[in-house]
């Protein structure tokens, strides 16, 4: 499944804004990483692979929460948000999954006023 023109254009616009801000074009994984850092406030010079995965998990839960897939359960003693899965994600092909995530990432940035 190819990305529809509107989604593609909105994604390119987001990439362009992030490229201006950070000096290089981010991929979806990097954008999720940034969202995770934003949501947790986690800023370390050295980040382990596990911490990166945790940050991306927080990002995925955060961007999918407005569509009812996850619900925030609160924060732990370190300030990290925790989520409960409310409903199963629909079965999709890999390209459909990527577009689904991109659409939710775009919604996140719109809600953040970016």
Residues 38-51 pLDDT 10s: 999 888 889 999 99
Which residues, other chains included, contact 92 with Cβ-Cβ below 8 Å and sequence gap of 6+? Answer: 100
Whole-number average pLDDT of the chain: 93
Say what the pLDDT of residue 114 is.
Answer: 86
Say what the pLDDT of residue 21 is.
Answer: 92
Note the pLDDT tens digit of each residue in 49-95: 999 999 999 999 999 999 999 999 999 998 899 999 999 999 999 99
| Dist CA 74 CA 11 (whole Å) | 30
H, E, C per residue of 46-80: CCCHHHHHHHHHHHHHHHHHHHCCEEEEEECCCCC
Say what the pLDDT of residue 1 is.
Answer: 44
| Dist CA 5 CA 22 (whole Å) | 25
Q: What does the block give as tokens for 85?
A: 């899965």
Say what the pLDDT of residue 5 is.
Answer: 82
pTM of the model: 0.88
Note the pLDDT tens digit of each residue in 85-94: 999 999 999 9
Q: Provide the residue ranges of all domains of the chain, joining segments of one domain with +.
A: 12-111
Give the mean model confidence (pLDDT) for residues 97-113: 95
């Amino acid at each position: 499944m190819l990305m529809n023109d509107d989604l593609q254009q909105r994604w390119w616009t987001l990439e362009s804004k992030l490229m201006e801000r950070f000096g290089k074009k981010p991929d979806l994984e990097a954008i999720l990483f940034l969202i995770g850092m934003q949501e947790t406030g986690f800023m370390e010079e050295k980040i382990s692979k596990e911490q990166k995965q945790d940050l991306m998990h927080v990002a995925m839960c955060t961007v999918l929460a407005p569509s009812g897939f996850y619900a925030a359960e609160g924060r732990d003693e370190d300030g990290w948000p925790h989520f409960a899965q409310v409903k199963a994600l629909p079965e999709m092909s890999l390209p459909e999954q990527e577009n689904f995530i991109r659409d939710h990432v775009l919604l996140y940035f719109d809600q953040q006023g970016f």
